[in-house]
Amino acid sequence: MKIMVCGKGGSGKSSVSVLMARALSEKHKVYLIDSDESNVLLPKLLGVKPPKPIVEYLGGKKSIFSKGEVNIVNALAKAGKGIILENLPTGYVSTSTEGIKLVTIGKVRNFGEGCACPLNFLTKTLLKNLVLDKDEIVLVDTDAGIEHVGRGVEEGCDTILAVVDPTAEALMLAKILKETFQNLNKKFWLVLNKATPKIIEPIREKAKEMNLEVNGVIGFNEEIFESCMKGEVLDAKGAMFDVEEILKTIGLV
Ligand SMILES: Nc1ncnc2c1ncn2[C@@H]1O[C@H](COP(=O)(O)OP(=O)(O)OP(=O)(O)O)[C@@H](O)[C@H]1O
Ligand SMILES: [Mg+2]
Protein backbone atom coordinates (compact mmCIF):
# COMPACT_ATOMS: atom_id res chain seq x y z
CA MET A 1 0.00 0.00 0.00
CA LYS A 2 1.28 3.46 -0.94
CA ILE A 3 -0.15 6.30 1.13
CA MET A 4 0.45 9.99 0.43
CA VAL A 5 0.17 12.14 3.55
CA CYS A 6 -1.10 15.49 2.31
CA GLY A 7 -2.48 18.73 3.68
CA LYS A 8 -2.11 22.36 4.46
CA GLY A 9 1.23 23.73 5.65
CA GLY A 10 1.87 22.99 9.30
CA SER A 11 -1.21 20.77 9.72
CA GLY A 12 0.97 17.96 11.09
CA LYS A 13 1.85 15.82 8.04
CA SER A 14 5.38 15.03 9.20
CA SER A 15 4.43 14.34 12.82
CA VAL A 16 1.46 12.18 11.81
CA SER A 17 3.60 10.31 9.26
CA VAL A 18 6.12 9.38 11.93
CA LEU A 19 3.45 8.35 14.45
CA MET A 20 1.60 6.25 11.88
CA ALA A 21 4.83 4.68 10.69
CA ARG A 22 5.62 3.65 14.25
CA ALA A 23 2.20 2.17 14.88
CA LEU A 24 2.23 0.34 11.54
CA SER A 25 5.76 -0.95 12.02
CA GLU A 26 4.52 -3.39 14.67
CA LYS A 27 2.85 -5.50 11.96
CA HIS A 28 4.24 -4.21 8.67
CA LYS A 29 7.47 -3.31 7.01
CA VAL A 30 7.20 0.46 6.73
CA TYR A 31 8.98 2.89 4.44
CA LEU A 32 8.77 6.62 4.91
CA ILE A 33 9.51 8.75 1.85
CA ASP A 34 10.40 12.36 2.49
CA SER A 35 9.18 14.20 -0.59
CA ASP A 36 9.24 17.66 0.98
CA GLU A 37 11.81 19.73 -0.91
CA SER A 38 12.18 22.26 1.92
CA ASN A 39 11.82 20.90 5.44
CA VAL A 40 14.49 18.88 7.21
CA LEU A 41 12.96 17.74 10.49
CA LEU A 42 11.64 14.33 9.43
CA PRO A 43 14.87 12.33 10.07
CA LYS A 44 15.20 13.97 13.47
CA LEU A 45 11.59 13.15 14.41
CA LEU A 46 12.22 9.56 13.37
CA GLY A 47 15.57 9.48 15.17
CA VAL A 48 17.80 8.64 12.20
CA LYS A 49 20.68 10.19 10.30
CA PRO A 50 19.37 11.93 7.15
CA PRO A 51 19.76 9.52 4.23
CA LYS A 52 21.53 10.76 1.11
CA PRO A 53 18.92 12.19 -1.31
CA ILE A 54 18.01 9.88 -4.19
CA VAL A 55 18.28 12.80 -6.59
CA GLU A 56 22.02 12.88 -5.90
CA TYR A 57 22.38 9.18 -6.72
CA LEU A 58 20.84 10.00 -10.11
CA GLY A 59 23.29 12.80 -10.84
CA GLY A 60 21.44 15.81 -9.43
CA LYS A 61 18.27 17.74 -10.10
CA LYS A 62 19.31 19.15 -13.48
CA SER A 63 19.60 15.71 -15.06
CA ILE A 64 16.25 14.30 -13.93
CA PHE A 65 14.00 15.45 -16.80
CA SER A 66 16.52 14.56 -19.48
CA LYS A 67 16.91 11.08 -18.00
CA GLY A 68 13.16 10.48 -18.11
CA GLU A 69 11.16 7.74 -16.44
CA VAL A 70 12.78 4.75 -18.16
CA ASN A 71 16.36 5.69 -17.29
CA ILE A 72 15.44 6.62 -13.73
CA VAL A 73 13.78 3.25 -13.25
CA ASN A 74 16.72 1.45 -14.84
CA ALA A 75 19.12 3.24 -12.52
CA LEU A 76 17.09 2.45 -9.40
CA ALA A 77 15.73 -1.00 -10.24
CA LYS A 78 17.55 -4.29 -10.16
CA ALA A 79 17.23 -6.68 -13.10
CA GLY A 80 14.11 -5.06 -14.52
CA LYS A 81 12.04 -5.95 -11.48
CA GLY A 82 10.84 -2.44 -10.66
CA ILE A 83 12.17 -0.35 -7.82
CA ILE A 84 12.68 -2.08 -4.49
CA LEU A 85 13.58 0.45 -1.82
CA GLU A 86 15.46 -2.17 0.19
CA ASN A 87 17.90 -2.47 -2.72
CA LEU A 88 18.88 1.18 -2.87
CA PRO A 89 22.62 1.63 -2.31
CA THR A 90 24.04 2.03 1.19
CA GLY A 91 23.55 5.51 2.58
CA TYR A 92 20.29 6.17 0.71
CA VAL A 93 18.10 4.46 3.31
CA SER A 94 18.22 5.20 7.05
CA THR A 95 16.62 2.72 9.44
CA SER A 96 15.07 3.69 12.79
CA THR A 97 15.17 1.59 15.95
CA GLU A 98 11.62 0.38 15.11
CA GLY A 99 12.84 -0.77 11.69
CA ILE A 100 11.18 2.07 9.74
CA LYS A 101 13.18 2.87 6.62
CA LEU A 102 13.50 6.50 5.57
CA VAL A 103 14.24 7.59 2.00
CA THR A 104 14.64 11.21 0.91
CA ILE A 105 13.98 12.49 -2.60
CA GLY A 106 15.97 15.74 -2.45
CA LYS A 107 16.00 19.31 -1.17
CA VAL A 108 16.21 22.75 -2.74
CA ARG A 109 19.12 24.50 -1.07
CA ASN A 110 20.86 27.03 -3.29
CA PHE A 111 19.85 30.44 -4.61
CA GLY A 112 18.87 30.23 -8.26
CA GLU A 113 19.16 26.44 -8.50
CA GLY A 114 15.75 26.13 -10.15
CA CYS A 115 12.32 24.86 -9.12
CA ALA A 116 11.35 21.63 -7.39
CA CYS A 117 9.61 20.17 -10.46
CA PRO A 118 12.34 17.56 -11.13
CA LEU A 119 11.99 16.38 -7.52
CA ASN A 120 8.25 16.00 -7.98
CA PHE A 121 8.85 14.05 -11.18
CA LEU A 122 11.31 11.81 -9.36
CA THR A 123 8.82 11.14 -6.54
CA LYS A 124 6.11 10.35 -9.08
CA THR A 125 8.39 7.99 -11.02
CA LEU A 126 9.56 6.28 -7.85
CA LEU A 127 6.02 5.72 -6.58
CA LYS A 128 4.73 4.48 -9.92
CA ASN A 129 7.51 1.91 -10.26
CA LEU A 130 7.85 0.88 -6.65
CA VAL A 131 7.38 -2.83 -6.07
CA LEU A 132 6.04 -3.76 -2.65
CA ASP A 133 5.43 -7.03 -0.85
CA LYS A 134 1.94 -7.57 0.55
CA ASP A 135 2.90 -6.59 4.08
CA GLU A 136 4.83 -3.48 3.08
CA ILE A 137 3.49 0.04 3.50
CA VAL A 138 4.91 3.25 2.11
CA LEU A 139 4.01 6.57 3.69
CA VAL A 140 4.97 9.66 1.71
CA ASP A 141 5.39 12.85 3.74
CA THR A 142 4.58 15.55 1.19
CA ASP A 143 5.32 19.24 0.96
CA ALA A 144 2.61 21.66 2.07
CA GLY A 145 -0.43 22.35 -0.09
CA ILE A 146 -1.25 20.85 -3.45
CA GLU A 147 1.54 21.79 -5.84
CA HIS A 148 2.38 18.05 -5.99
CA VAL A 149 -1.21 17.34 -7.06
CA GLY A 150 -0.76 19.65 -10.03
CA ARG A 151 2.33 17.63 -10.95
CA GLY A 152 0.41 14.36 -10.73
CA VAL A 153 2.81 12.96 -8.12
CA GLU A 154 -0.01 10.87 -6.64
CA GLU A 155 -0.45 8.82 -9.81
CA GLY A 156 1.43 5.85 -8.37
CA CYS A 157 -0.12 5.82 -4.92
CA ASP A 158 -3.39 4.18 -3.93
CA THR A 159 -4.42 6.19 -0.88
CA ILE A 160 -4.47 9.81 0.26
CA LEU A 161 -4.36 10.63 3.93
CA ALA A 162 -5.31 14.28 4.42
CA VAL A 163 -4.09 15.79 7.68
CA VAL A 164 -6.28 18.68 8.75
CA ASP A 165 -5.64 21.10 11.58
CA PRO A 166 -8.68 22.81 13.08
CA THR A 167 -9.00 25.53 10.45
CA ALA A 168 -11.46 26.21 7.64
CA GLU A 169 -8.50 26.54 5.27
CA ALA A 170 -7.32 22.99 6.02
CA LEU A 171 -10.82 21.59 5.49
CA MET A 172 -11.19 23.43 2.20
CA LEU A 173 -7.92 21.98 0.97
CA ALA A 174 -9.00 18.51 2.11
CA LYS A 175 -12.19 18.90 0.09
CA ILE A 176 -10.19 19.64 -3.04
CA LEU A 177 -8.00 16.61 -2.34
CA LYS A 178 -11.01 14.36 -1.77
CA GLU A 179 -12.76 15.43 -4.94
CA THR A 180 -9.60 15.13 -7.01
CA PHE A 181 -8.72 11.66 -5.83
CA GLN A 182 -12.24 10.27 -5.76
CA ASN A 183 -12.30 10.91 -9.49
CA LEU A 184 -9.05 8.97 -9.78
CA ASN A 185 -10.42 6.02 -7.76
CA LYS A 186 -8.01 6.42 -4.89
CA LYS A 187 -8.93 5.86 -1.25
CA PHE A 188 -9.26 9.01 0.82
CA TRP A 189 -8.93 9.34 4.59
CA LEU A 190 -9.10 12.49 6.68
CA VAL A 191 -7.42 12.90 10.06
CA LEU A 192 -8.11 15.89 12.27
CA ASN A 193 -4.91 16.81 14.11
CA LYS A 194 -4.16 19.19 17.00
CA ALA A 195 -7.75 18.86 18.18
CA THR A 196 -8.76 20.22 21.58
CA PRO A 197 -11.82 18.43 23.04
CA LYS A 198 -14.12 21.44 22.52
CA ILE A 199 -13.55 21.73 18.79
CA ILE A 200 -13.89 18.07 17.76
CA GLU A 201 -17.67 18.05 17.29
CA PRO A 202 -17.87 21.49 15.62
CA ILE A 203 -15.16 20.44 13.14
CA ARG A 204 -16.92 17.12 12.48
CA GLU A 205 -20.10 19.08 11.76
CA LYS A 206 -18.33 21.55 9.51
CA ALA A 207 -16.66 18.67 7.69
CA LYS A 208 -20.03 16.97 7.21
CA GLU A 209 -21.49 20.13 5.70
CA MET A 210 -18.60 20.01 3.24
CA ASN A 211 -19.29 16.37 2.41
CA LEU A 212 -16.16 15.28 4.27
CA GLU A 213 -15.90 12.55 6.89
CA VAL A 214 -13.40 12.77 9.74
CA ASN A 215 -11.91 9.27 9.94
CA GLY A 216 -9.79 9.94 12.99
CA VAL A 217 -8.68 12.51 15.52
CA ILE A 218 -5.31 13.22 17.10
CA GLY A 219 -5.58 15.52 20.07
CA PHE A 220 -3.45 18.57 20.64
CA ASN A 221 -0.42 17.01 22.25
CA GLU A 222 2.21 18.88 24.27
CA GLU A 223 4.79 16.12 23.63
CA ILE A 224 4.54 16.52 19.86
CA PHE A 225 4.71 20.26 20.21
CA GLU A 226 7.81 20.04 22.40
CA SER A 227 9.65 17.46 20.26
CA CYS A 228 9.08 19.63 17.18
CA MET A 229 10.21 22.72 19.06
CA LYS A 230 13.44 21.03 20.14
CA GLY A 231 13.96 19.22 16.84
CA GLU A 232 14.35 15.89 18.58
CA VAL A 233 12.99 12.36 18.24
CA LEU A 234 9.19 12.51 18.34
CA ASP A 235 8.46 11.46 21.90
CA ALA A 236 4.69 11.30 21.91
CA LYS A 237 3.51 8.18 23.67
CA GLY A 238 0.36 10.04 24.68
CA ALA A 239 -0.65 10.42 21.02
CA MET A 240 -0.18 6.74 20.16
CA PHE A 241 -3.61 5.78 21.49
CA ASP A 242 -5.23 8.21 19.04
CA VAL A 243 -3.08 6.86 16.21
CA GLU A 244 -3.92 3.22 17.01
CA GLU A 245 -7.63 4.13 16.99
CA ILE A 246 -7.26 5.73 13.57
CA LEU A 247 -5.52 2.66 12.17
CA LYS A 248 -8.33 0.45 13.48
CA THR A 249 -11.00 2.75 11.99
CA ILE A 250 -9.42 2.80 8.56
CA GLY A 251 -8.71 -0.92 8.74
CA LEU A 252 -4.94 -0.88 8.63
CA VAL A 253 -4.44 -3.03 11.76
N1 LIG B 1 -1.05 16.77 17.57
C2 LIG B 1 -0.31 17.87 17.75
N3 LIG B 1 -0.37 18.55 18.91
C4 LIG B 1 0.33 19.68 19.11
N5 LIG B 1 1.13 20.23 18.22
C6 LIG B 1 1.27 19.60 17.04
C7 LIG B 1 0.57 18.37 16.74
N8 LIG B 1 0.92 17.99 15.50
C9 LIG B 1 1.78 18.92 15.05
N10 LIG B 1 1.99 19.88 15.97
C11 LIG B 1 2.78 21.12 15.84
O12 LIG B 1 2.58 21.63 14.55
C13 LIG B 1 3.82 21.94 13.94
C14 LIG B 1 3.76 21.45 12.51
O15 LIG B 1 3.79 20.05 12.52
P16 LIG B 1 4.44 19.23 11.32
O17 LIG B 1 5.80 19.75 11.03
O18 LIG B 1 4.25 17.81 11.61
O19 LIG B 1 3.44 19.72 10.19
P20 LIG B 1 3.62 19.61 8.61
O21 LIG B 1 2.25 19.57 8.06
O22 LIG B 1 4.53 18.49 8.28
O23 LIG B 1 4.32 20.99 8.28
P24 LIG B 1 4.92 21.42 6.84
O25 LIG B 1 3.74 21.78 6.00
O26 LIG B 1 5.77 22.61 7.19
O27 LIG B 1 5.68 20.26 6.32
C28 LIG B 1 4.89 21.22 14.76
O29 LIG B 1 6.01 22.03 14.86
C30 LIG B 1 4.24 21.00 16.08
O31 LIG B 1 4.60 22.06 16.92
MG1 LIG C 1 6.27 18.47 7.10
Among 22, 36, 228, which residue has the most ligand 1 atoms within 8 Å of its CB, making it the best to mutate? 228
Q: Assess contact for 145 and 35: CB atoms under 8 A.
A: no
- Structurally, the chain folds into a number of domains equal to 1
Q: Which residues surround ligand 2, an ion (CB under 5 A)?
A: 13-14, 39
* 3-class state of residue 102 by DSSP: strand
* 3-class state of residue 101 by DSSP: strand
Q: Angle, to 10 degrees, between the axis of helix 117-129 and the axis of helix 64-76?
A: 30
Dump pLDDT digits (tens) for 37-82: 999 999 999 999 999 999 999 999 999 999 999 999 999 997 667 8
Question: What is the CB neighbour count within 10 angstroms for residue 203?
Answer: 21
Q: Closest Cα to atom 7, ligand 1: which residue?
A: 194
Among 4, 5, 15, which residue has the most ligand 1 atoms within 8 Å of its CB, making it the best to mutate? 15
For residues 71 and 42, give the distance between their C-alpha atoms in angstroms, rounded to a whole number: 28
Confidence class for position 87, pLDDT limits 50, 70, 90: confident
Find the 79 Cα to ligand 2 centroid distance in Å.
Answer: 34
Find the 110 Cα to ligand 1 centroid distance in Å.
Answer: 25
CATH at residue 44: 3.40.50.300
Confidence class for position 229, pLDDT limits 50, 70, 90: very high
Pocket of ligand 1 (CB under 6 A): 7, 9-15, 36, 39, 144, 193-194, 218, 220-221, 224-225, 228
Nearest ligand to residue 45 Cα: 1
Report the percent of the chain where pLDDT is more than 70: 99
Find the 62 Cα to ligand 2 centroid distance in Å.
Answer: 24
Q: Closest Cα to atom 29, ligand 1: which residue?
A: 228
Average pLDDT of the chain is 95
Domain that holds residue 225: 2-250
Q: Assess contact for 146 and 177: CB atoms under 8 A.
A: yes
Closest atom of ligand 1 to 221 CA is 3
Confidence class for position 101, pLDDT limits 50, 70, 90: very high
Q: Assess contact for 139 and 247: CB atoms under 8 A.
A: no
For residues 210 and 149, give the distance between their C-alpha atoms in angstroms, rounded to a whole number: 20
Closest atom of ligand 1 to 220 CA is 3
Cα 111 from chain centroid? 26
- Backbone φ and ψ for 68, nearest 5 degrees, come out as 75, 170
Dump pLDDT digits (tens) for 203-223: 999 999 999 999 999 999 999
pTM attached to this predicted model = 0.96
For residues 203 and 183, give the distance between their C-alpha atoms in angstroms, rounded to a whole number: 25
Whether the pLDDT of residue 176 is over 90: the answer is yes
**H-only helix segments in the chain:** 13-24, 42-46, 54-57, 64-76, 117-129, 147-150, 168-183, 197-209, 222-230, 237-250
Q: Assess contact for 139 and 32: CB atoms under 8 A.
A: yes
